[in-house]
Structure formats: structure tokens, C-alpha cells
């Protein structure tokens, strides 16, 4: 892999979730949200503050504000575009965004454990395994998955950006994962591999076959080519001719290694 797995544990959402797990008042609202969303089963409709207060036993309408305005995920996220967009949402929508990250937490933990056991997985395999994990979350947490028009957990969005090493912007990663969540809500939801197949070409086109991704991949090979050239310099002309494939010359390799 082109990145350390530990980098996934330092994203803004990962740090926020680690701190938030101790906040019992938040989890009370998350459980209430799950119940209300299950009853609604409407991607476009979110519960009201009154419904949440009634289910959580809070009389004051200001309680939800005091809970979700303190150490909020919005404040933890980096970057003006993300913060400004989330900052305009009402308090229930912000709570749903946090609930998605919270409910996805155990699935994400299992995914990272798998990456630690297989540290040499290539980026493409890691990205595909992330899509599989999102499908599992969406099928087991349908209430949170469909809420907010199938928006994915922001932790998964940032994870995908880390995995592809910046070739996707957060909005691009979010759109890709949103299509995964929406597809998982349909008849293909019981077939995670099929859901991933639906978006796989899009993943390749945007993250691994885009010009930036190709250049980054080539850049990673230059050092290996330099090592090969070092060995070729010790060989006779006949040995070099037998070692290299037809049409590949030392000069061609040298130009590539030098970035020409």
C-alpha cells in the first residue's frame, strides 16, 4: 500500500469518533434517531426536534442544541467548503450526519483490522474492500443509510480520499459512496459484490485511471527502474540484450527514471 494504515486513524472524523464514544447524551439521541428513521423509511424526511425530544424524554427544546453544538463533527472537519456546507444545516440534520459516522464505527474498525492483517494489499484492493464495508453497513443500518438522501458516513469519505492518495476530492468521494449506499438499498443489497461491481468502473475512472493517478503510479516506479539500471550497468552488452524485453533499451529506461 502507498500509505500507512495508521493514517486512517488520524482523519478528522476518526479523531472525533474516538472522543465522542464517551458521550452518552449523544448516543441516546442516536438510538432515538434510529427508531424514528425506521418508522419513516423516507430518504428525504428527517425527524423533528419535537419527535427527538419526546423519545429521549427531554422537555427543553434547547437540549439537543447543547448536545450537538458541543464538540460537533462540523467543528472537527477540516476545510472551508465542508464546514460551510454543514454549518448551514439544521441541528437534526447535523445529528443524523454524526449518527451515520457513529453507526459505521464498528464496521470501520473491522475494516481497518483487516488492513492491518494484510498490509501489502494494493490501493485498488483496499478501495474495493472499503466499498464492500459500506455495503455491509448500509444493509445492516438501513435507517441511517437512507437518511439524508443516502449520504455516506463522512469517515468513509475521508478514508477513501486517504486510500487513493488525494486523486479524489471529498465531494467526488462522497458522490461515489453515495451511489454505493443507494444501490445497496435496492434489490442488490443482499449481494455486496454485485453492488461494488456496479460502481467499480467509476471508481477506476475517477481514482485510478485519472491522469493524476497514472502519474503517481509511474512516479512510484522510477526508483525501481533506477535499481534495475544500476544492475544493468554491471552487465555486458550481450547480457543486457538478453535481459531486456524486445523494444526496451537502456536509454529508454534511463529517460523514464530521470522523468524525461
Write out pLDDT tens, residues 65-99. Answer: 888 887 778 777 755 555 556 667 889 999 999 99
pLDDT of residue 84: 56
pLDDT at 219: 62
The yes-or-no verdict on residue 224 having pLDDT over 80 is: no
Q: pLDDT confidence of 30, banded at 50, 70, 90?
A: very high
Q: What is the pLDDT of residues 101-127, one digit of tens each?
A: 999 999 999 999 999 988 888 888 999
> CA torsion angle for 206, 208, 211, 214 (degrees, to 10)?
180
Q: What is the largest CA-CA distance in the chain?
A: 87
In the block, cell 494484510 appears at: 118
Q: What is the DSSP string of 157-204?
A: HHHHHHHTTTSS-HHHHHHHHHHHHHHHTTGGGG-HHHHHHHHHHHHI
pLDDT in tens, 186-223: 888 778 888 988 888 888 887 775 555 445 555 667 77
- CATH-assigned architecture of domain 5-209: Orthogonal Bundle (1.10)
pLDDT tens-digit profile of 123-155? 889 999 999 999 999 999 999 999 999 999 999
Angle at 34 between CA 65 and CA 57, to 5 degrees: 50
CB atoms within 10 A of CB 1: 16
Distance of alpha carbon 89 from alpha carbon 48, whole angstroms: 13
Query: What's the pLDDT at 214?
Result: 46
Residue ranges covered by each domain of the chain: 5-209, 219-257
Q: What integer pLDDT is reported at residue 218 of this predicted model?
A: 53
CB 188 within 8 A of CB 42: no
Q: Which residue has the higher pLDDT, 135 or 40?
A: 135
- What pLDDT is attached to residue 166? 73
Separation between Cα atoms, residue 64 and residue 30, nearest integer Å: 11
More confident residue, 50 or 24: 50
pTM score over 0.85? no
Amino acid at each position: 500500500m502507498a500509505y500507512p494504515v495508521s493514517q486512517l486513524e488520524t482523519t478528522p472524523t476518526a479523531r472525533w469518533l474516538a472522543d465522542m464514544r464517551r458521550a452518552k447524551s449523544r448516543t441516546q439521541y442516536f438510538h432515538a434517531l434510529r427508531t424514528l428513521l425506521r418508522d419513516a423509511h423516507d430518504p428525504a424526511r428527517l425527524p423533528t426536534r419535537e419527535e427527538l425530544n419526546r423519545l429521549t424524554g427531554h422537555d427543553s427544546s434547547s437540549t439537543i442544541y447543547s448536545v450537538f453544538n458541543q464538540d460537533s463533527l462540523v467543528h472537527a472537519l477540516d476545510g472551508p467548503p465542508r464546514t460551510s456546507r454543514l454549518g448551514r444545516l439544521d441541528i437534526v440534520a447535523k445529528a443524523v450526519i454524526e449518527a451515520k459516522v457513529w453507526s459505521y464505527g464498528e464496521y470501520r474498525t473491522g475494516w481497518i483490522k483487516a488492513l492491518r492483517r494484510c498490509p501489502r494489499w494494493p490501493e485498488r484492493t483496499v478501495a474495493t474492500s472499503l466499498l464492500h464495508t459500506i455495503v455491509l453497513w448500509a444493509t445492516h443500518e438501513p435507517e441511517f443509510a437512507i437518511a439524508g438522501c443516502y449520504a455516506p458516513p463522512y469517515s468513509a469519505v475521508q478514508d477513501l480520499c486517504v486510500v487513493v492518495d488525494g486523486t479524489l476530492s471529498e465531494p467526488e468521494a462522497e458522490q461515489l459512496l453515495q451511489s454505493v449506499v443507494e444501490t445497496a438499498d435496492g434489490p442488490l443489497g443482499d449481494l455486496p459484490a454485485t453492488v461494488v461491481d456496479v460502481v467499480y468502473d467509476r471508481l477506476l475512472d475517477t481514482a485510478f485511471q485519472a491522469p493524476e493517478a497514472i502519474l503517481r503510479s509511474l512516479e512510484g516506479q522510477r526508483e525501481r527502474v533506477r535499481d534495475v539500471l544500476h544492475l544493468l550497468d554491471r552487465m555486458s552488452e550481450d547480457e543486457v540484450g538478453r535481459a531486456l524485453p524486445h523494444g526496451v533499451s537502456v536509454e529508454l529506461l534511463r529517460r523514464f527514471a530521470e522523468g524525461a
